[in-house]
């Protein structure tokens, strides 16, 4: 391992989020940086971190700076250094919730990223990595590539594409763009975890889990550790101005995810198919509202049973993520730079690890796995189901 003085200095924007915390842990455990500054509006102590991630943030080389990166002054302070500037900068910060308004996305994605990239250019960062979205094109038969004609299918991705385009117009910015597929791993809340929670709910409502569309709907995945190592790899191996997809070799589909979830919770499942799902789409907002309402009540009851007063986990899935849109990506371009995927496909053990971590933290009702909780629907819910 190189001496501390020879290791680079890394600025992690949005570093207490799901991907950011795992990246910080990756840097610390592999002793890759002499200094790591994390800039985020959420302190580590309030970010629902497990012991492993908190330990990484307690490392002497890690500095946390409270930052609202929508504010230009806060961005300047995040980059400020009394000695030498930061060598590498990665931006994980952005509005990540689906179903938000246009002004919220513009400010929390476009304005934020532009602020950060302009300062990175002025500070002459050796490489600035922007993490955007894989939801840039719905392609069923062929995985789409970095140079495909793009048609983003979520409002969030449309704003991420705007960021991608503006980066090329910032003078003196050395940058690469990473478009990840569905990111999973310890600390995930929005990727595959809602489907795990839904599987647990159906185990104890003793119903068959029914899903829209078909088992062949592509939902390509990438492990958060591979995303972390890819960002580090691109700091030195990425070509400025280039876009790199991150999607594992498993060509994950909705069917595969459902099968793994059913194995964990020993439940049965089926797909509504294209015809019935298309009929449901006519009144999609009402259908999605009913689906989420059906899941929230037993989830709340299970949390109450296990005395979980507060948890960031929710089985809620936004309407945009339930359309018949394929997340089907070709993740091979980055391999041409020498990068290797350590998690070639989604496995049962990966999902169990996520669950076990949340159980240990007291954020997931353990009774949903042990069978201690038996759900009894209300009279109103029984009437709805019949």
Q: Is residue 338 situated within a structural domain?
A: no
Residue 45 lies in domain: 4-185+221-246
Q: Which pLDDT value is given to residue 76? A: 96
Q: What is the full per-residue pLDDT of the chain (386 aa) written as tens digits? A: 555 558 999 999 999 999 999 999 999 999 999 999 999 999 999 999 999 999 999 999 999 999 999 999 999 999 998 778 999 999 999 999 898 999 999 999 999 999 999 999 999 999 999 999 999 999 999 999 999 999 999 999 999 999 999 999 999 999 999 999 999 999 999 999 999 999 999 998 889 998 888 999 999 999 999 999 999 999 999 999 999 999 999 999 999 999 999 999 999 999 988 887 787 777 888 888 988 999 999 999 999 999 999 999 999 999 888 888 999 999 999 999 999 999 999 999 999 999 999 999 999 999 888 766 665 665 444 444 43
Q: Which pLDDT value is given to residue 382? A: 44
Q: Which pLDDT value is given to residue 282? A: 76
How many domains is the chain partitioned into structurally?
Answer: 2
Q: Which pLDDT value is given to residue 186? A: 98
Q: At what angle do helices 254-265 and 348-360 cross, to 10 degrees?
A: 50
Q: Is residue 385 situated within a structural domain?
A: no
Q: Which pLDDT value is given to residue 381? A: 45
Q: Are residues 100 and 208 in the same domain?
A: no
Q: Are residues 89 and 226 in the same domain?
A: yes
Q: Are residues 268 and 292 in the same domain?
A: yes
pTM for the full predicted model: 0.93
Q: Are residues 138 and 181 in the same domain?
A: yes
Q: Are residues 320 and 276 in the same domain?
A: yes
Q: Is residue 197 situated within a structural domain?
A: yes
Tell me which of 246, 263, 287 is where a domain ends: 246
Q: Are residues 234 and 263 in the same domain?
A: no
Q: Which pLDDT value is given to residue 259? A: 97
Q: Are residues 152 and 211 in the same domain?
A: no
Q: Are residues 162 and 208 in the same domain?
A: no
Q: Are residues 32 and 106 in the same domain?
A: yes
CB atoms within 10 A of CB 264: 16
Q: Which pLDDT value is given to residue 264? A: 95
Q: Which pLDDT value is given to residue 2? A: 53
Structure tokens at 217: 């709907």
Say which CATH number the domain at 132 has. Answer: 3.40.50.720
């Amino acid at each position: 391992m190189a001496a501390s003085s020879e290791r680079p200095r890394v600025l992690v924007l949005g570093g207490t989020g799901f991907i950011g915390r795992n990246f910080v842990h990756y840097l610390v455990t592999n002793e890759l940086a002499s200094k790591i500054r994390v800039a985020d509006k959420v302190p580590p102590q309030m970010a629902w971190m497990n012991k492993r991630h908190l330990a990484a943030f307690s490392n002497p080389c890690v500095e946390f700076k409270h930052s609202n990166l929508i504010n230009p002054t806060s961005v300047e302070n995040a980059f400020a250094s009394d000695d030498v500037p930061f060598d590498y900068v990665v931006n994980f910060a952005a509005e990540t919730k689906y179903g938000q308004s246009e002004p919220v996305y513009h400010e929390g994605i476009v304005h934020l990223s532009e602020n950060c990239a302009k300062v990175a250019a002025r500070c002459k960062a050796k490489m600035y990595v922007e993490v955007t979205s894989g939801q840039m094109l719905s392609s069923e038969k062929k995985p789409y590539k970095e140079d495909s004609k793009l048609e983003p299918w979520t409002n969030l991705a449309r704003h991420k594409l705007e960021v991608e385009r503006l980066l090329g117009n910032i003078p003196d910015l050395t940058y690469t763009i990473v478009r990840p597929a569905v990111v999973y791993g310890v600390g995930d809340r929005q990727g595959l975890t809602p489907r795990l929670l839904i599987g647990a709910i159906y185990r104890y409502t003793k119903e068959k889990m029914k899903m829209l569309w078909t088992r062949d709907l592509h939902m390509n995945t990438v492990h958060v550790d591979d995303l972390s190592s890819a960002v580090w790899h691109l700091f030195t191996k990425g070509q400025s101005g280039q876009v790199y997809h991150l999607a594992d070799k498993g060509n994950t589909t909705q069917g595969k995810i459902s099968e793994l979830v059913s194995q964990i919770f020993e439940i049965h499942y089926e797909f509504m198919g294209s015809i019935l799902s298309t009929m449901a789409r006519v009144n999609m907002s009402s259908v999605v509202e009913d689906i989420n309402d059906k899941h929230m009540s037993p989830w709340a009851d299970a949390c109450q049973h296990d005395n979980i007063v507060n948890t960031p986990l929710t089985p809620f899935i936004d309407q945009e993520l339930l359309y018949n849109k394929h997340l089907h990506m070709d993740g091979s371009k980055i391999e041409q730079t020498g990068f290797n995927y350590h998690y070639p496909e989604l496995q049962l053990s990966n999902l169990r690890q996520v669950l076990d971590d949340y159980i240990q933290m007291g954020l997931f009702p353990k009774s949903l796995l042990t069978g201690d909780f038996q759900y009894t629907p209300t009279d109103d819910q029984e009437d709805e189901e019949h």
